[in-house]
Amino acid sequence: MTDVSIVSCNSYDEEEVRTALENVLLPIGGLDWVTPGMKIAIKANLVSMMKPELAATTHPALLCALVKMLRERDAEPIIGDSPGGLYNAAVVNRIYHVTGMKQAEAAGALLNQDFGNCEANFPEAMVAHQFTYTAYLDKVDAIIDFCKLKTHGMMGMSAAVKNMFGVVPGTFKPEYHFRYPDHRDFAKMLMDLNTYFAPKVKLCLVDAIVGMEGNGPTQGTPRHLGALLASRSPHPLDLVCAKLIGLTPKDIPTLEVAMENGWIPESVEQLKISGDLNRFCVRDFQNIHVRRSLQFEGHGKFASMFVRSALRAEPRPDKKLCVSCKKCAEICPAHVITMKNGIPEIDKTRCITCFCCQEFCPVGAMKVHRPLIARILNHKK
């Protein structure tokens, strides 16, 4: 059985997208699991009110093609997501409009209008034993995780696993960042969400036709990759995505956790991949290296604390770009940002480095800053 399928798709042209989608699904069984009358949630990445060409969201051309394929099998596709911020009809419908979801609606999709919440009890979870999720997912028979390949300030990469954070209602997201400030714990929480919904997730797709590099996941730079990927599981899919953009499991907390749990092998070479992966790998992809990969155990508590402090990435405002909108201060889950003379000032002693301020800055003024020593070590690595 193929673990991950990857095919070429160089544009969002309607015919090319449809052909690529059919080809990428073929090695993993296509849509044979779809039955007439099935309600299928397409969990897109609709992180913010951003146009498709900015490469922050799942492109509507892909969603339109998928919707038509599901409709041809007499299924009922429902597109949904819970972006950061208020989770209500007024906000989400504006996001639907700007991100091009109305095109998918015209193609036959329903756009989720149920903005209720549900509570999950998950005793077997690693960390998220109770969590809140979007109620519409209880009303579907299956879920398709359709993400966008991007850099990410806290997790290093946003792909299939990170996309499921969208099941948490937007106003609850800062609480989860505050509850799991450690990067590994946050990664375990993301894995718990994926595990909880795994019985319903029948397919994972990655829009890597145009991804995002640099200051992702919202204010980075579009980067053409020309690839569409598919898998039955988000974990091997993310391992392949990491390879595409020049990252390893040590760079991405969710992949480290997946490897420790035996959900992925130690290297991408051990996966069964349909398609020429090396053809799509980008050597100069501009990544965000937010974590230290080196281990310093056995050097004493204070030495370890010094090393972590010296290598820790942190958010930092670009004064020339800042427009004094106060969005960063409003969204900060730890409430450590205050405005001084119109510029955000971060209390570094209490910052949990969740990078919410960087992710949701509307003008990209908040950057991920890495200390010089960290940049030197990563360059040598």
Please give the structure tokens belonging to residue 167: 């099941």
* 332 and 275, same domain (yes or no): no
In a domain, residue 146? The reply is: yes
Is 267 part of any domain? Answer: yes
**Does residue 139 have a pLDDT over 60?**
yes
In a domain, 231, yes or no: yes
pLDDT in tens, 238-297: 999 999 999 999 999 999 999 999 999 999 999 999 999 999 999 999 998 765 433 444
Please indicate, yes or no, if residue 195 is contained in any of the structural domains: yes
User: Buried (b) or exposed (e) across 307-327, using 16+ Cβ within 10 A?
Assistant: beeebbbbbbbeeeebeeeeb
Whether residue 363 lies inside any domain: the answer is yes
- 302 pLDDT band (50/70/90 cuts)? very low
The answer on 44 and 156 residing in a single domain is: yes
> Is 35 a member of any domain?
yes
For residues 21 and 305, give the distance between their C-alpha atoms in angstroms, rounded to a whole number.
48
Shared-domain flag, residues 62 and 152: yes
Residues 272 and 357 in one domain: no
Q: Give the chain as a 3 state SS string.
A: CCCEEEEECCCCCHHHHHHHHHHHHHHHCCCCCCCCCCEEEEEECCCCCCCHHHCCCCCHHHHHHHHHHHHHCCCEEEEECCCCCCCCHHHHHHHHHHCCHHHHHHCCCEECCCCCEEEEECCCCCCCCEEEEEHHHHHCCEEEEEEEEEEECCCEEECHHHHHHHHCCHHHHHHHHHHCCCHHHHHHHHHHHHHHHCCCEEEEEEEEEEEEECCCCCCCEEEEEEEEEEECCHHHHHHHHHHHCCCCHHHCHHHHHHHHCCCCCCCHHHCCEECCHHHHCCCCCCCCCCCCCCCCCCCCHHHHHHHHHHHCCEEEECCCCCCCCCHHHHHCCCCCEEEECCEEEECCCCCCCCCHHHHHCCCCCEEEECCHHHHHHHHHC
Give the residue from 250, 280, 310 where a domain finishes.
280
Residue 305: pLDDT over 60:
no
| 72 & 180 share domain | yes
More confident residue, 344 or 368: 344
What is the residue range of 14's domain?
4-280
At 245, which amino acid appears? I
- pLDDT at 314 > cutoff 90: no
- pLDDT per residue over 43-52, tens digit each? 999 999 999 9
pLDDT at res. 371: 60
Please check whether residues 338 and 203 belong to one and the same domain. no
CATH of the domain at 315: 3.30.70.20
Of the candidates 280, 314, 343, which is a domain's last residue? Answer: 280
Q: Is the pTM of the predicted complex or chain greater than 0.85? A: yes
Tell me, yes or no, whether 142 and 235 share the same domain: yes
112 & 260 share domain: yes
The pLDDT of 300-308, averaged and rounded, is 46
- From 158-162, 178-182, 308-312, the region with the lowest mean pLDDT: 308-312
pLDDT digits (tens, 9 = 90+) for 194-212: 999 999 999 999 999 999 9
On whether both 262 and 370 belong to a single domain, the answer is no
Together in a domain, 60 and 156 = yes
**Same domain assignment for residues 43 and 168:** yes
pLDDT at 131 over 90: yes
More confident residue, 69 or 181: 69
- Overall domain count for the chain: 2
pLDDT given at position 291: 55
Residues 368 and 233 grouped into a single domain: no
CATH code of the domain in which 135 resides: 3.40.50.11440
Residue 207 within a domain: yes
Domain assignment present for residue 246? The answer is yes
